[in-house]
Amino acid sequence: MSAAIDDRTESIRMIRDSAGAVAPRGGDSKRVRALRFTPTGFDRAVFAEMGALGWFGLAVPEEAGGAGLGMSEAVALAEELGAGLAPEPLVPAMLSGRLLAAGDDAALLGGALTGEKVVLTAWQERADTLTVPGTPDAPRVFIPMAAGADTFLLPVREANRIALHALPAAGADVTIEKAMDGGNIGTLRADLSRATRVADDVGAVIEQALDEAALATSGLMLGLMERAFEMTLAYLRTRQQFGRIIGTFQSLQHRAADLKVHIALTRAAVESAAAVLDSGATGAVRQAAVSKAKHRAAESGMLVLRQCIQLHGGIGYTDEYDVGLYLRRGMVIMNQYGSATLHRRRFMALAPEDVE
């Protein structure tokens, strides 16, 4: 048992170290700022590097070409990329890899896992949901970084199963809107006559894959809030007012201590949920763990990020100061794969203390 724990700890440490090559903590924001509001919003070369590192297939079984690791590793990776503000669509790419691993198109799966192709899943038909209706002719909304996609995956309901189709992004009817963090979101009006069927039924996979995506997004939020807090502490320790370091003011110390508690509680919820999923939990147990973590990450994350802006004073509200980039990113991802409200309601409905 101890050896297994040591192996997992080492695996997580290596994942965190590898993230530094793409999004180093404390690195400058030149790359991130240069990519804001560009046509795709992210760097294709960096995306390919992420694929080469095996990140998109972390949770994909080894026999399907993935790394066969767990959510503890995926959450740790997401945390580091959140702290580094990497704009590349990590979580959407991981979701697509999970779905393609259940299909028959080995070439498309290989391209998605290696990062040679940007494959995004267009599953959402309305705001704030984790349900996949799979309506064939319904517009698919809120597709993150859709402007950079090579292929869209379309879950389509057929009687009691959900088939998966691949639609080339070239020539697709997509409306792109700019997001406040410099990225973009897309609305796709799908034409199945141009699509290729790549899986007969992903119904058993997609529910779990969306839960995993929600948890990985919680990891992103944890990284955002933790790094913004680190920046805020550094500011409080150097900024002077009335001849004193403002970090010595007791009222600001109390506020900083409160934020530290929120970060600690978020980390506990996220890492606990990852351990639950890695233990093989299914159904209500898995869903409750994910919802507890996502609710905590979204709600506490926005509280911490907003407070960090306020603790910086006027400079925190300027676009030139980096702490504001973290708030903008948090505002974009906080509702992806379910808002705090949705996950709070789901957690309460599941009554996990009654689940065996």
Helix (H) or strand (E) holding 199: strand 196-199
Strands (E), 122-195: 140-144, 151-158, 161-168, 173-178, 184-189
Percentage of residues in the chain with pLDDT exceeding 70? 97
Confidence of residue 356 (pLDDT cuts 50, 70, 90): very low
69-78 pLDDT, tens digit each: 999 999 999 9
Average pLDDT over residues 324-337: 97
**What's the CA gap between 206 and 130, in Å, rounded?**
10
Confidence of residue 242 (pLDDT cuts 50, 70, 90): confident
20-32 pLDDT, tens digit each: 888 887 778 999 9
Place of tokens 């700022």: 33
The DSSP code for 208 is H
The DSSP code for 243 is T
The DSSP code for 61 is -
Confidence of residue 355 (pLDDT cuts 50, 70, 90): very low
Smallest CA-to-CA distance from 297 within 343, 240, 232, 257 is with 343
Average pLDDT over residues 130-144: 96
Which two structure tokens, joined as six digits, stand for 64? 């399907």
pLDDT value at position 76? 96
Q: Which residues make Cβ contacts (< 8 Å) with residue 10, sequence separation at least 6?
A: none
174-200 pLDDT, tens digit each: 999 999 999 999 999 999 999 999 999
Coil, strand or helix: which one is 218? helix
Q: Tell me how many degrees the CA angle 142-145-151 measures, rounded to the nearest 5.
A: 95
Average pLDDT over residues 143-172: 97
CATH fold of 205-354, please? Butyryl-CoA Dehydrogenase, subunit A; domain 3 (1.20.140)
Query: Edge to edge, what strands does the sheet with 140-144 contain?
Result: 140-144, 184-189, 173-178
Place of tokens 């299914």: 282
**What's the CA gap between 60 and 350, in Å, rounded?**
27
**What's the CA gap between 122 and 144, in Å, rounded?**
9
pLDDT value at position 241? 76
pLDDT value at position 172? 97
Confidence of residue 270 (pLDDT cuts 50, 70, 90): very high
Q: Residue 166 forms beta bridges with which residues?
A: 153, 196
Domain borders along the chain are 205-354
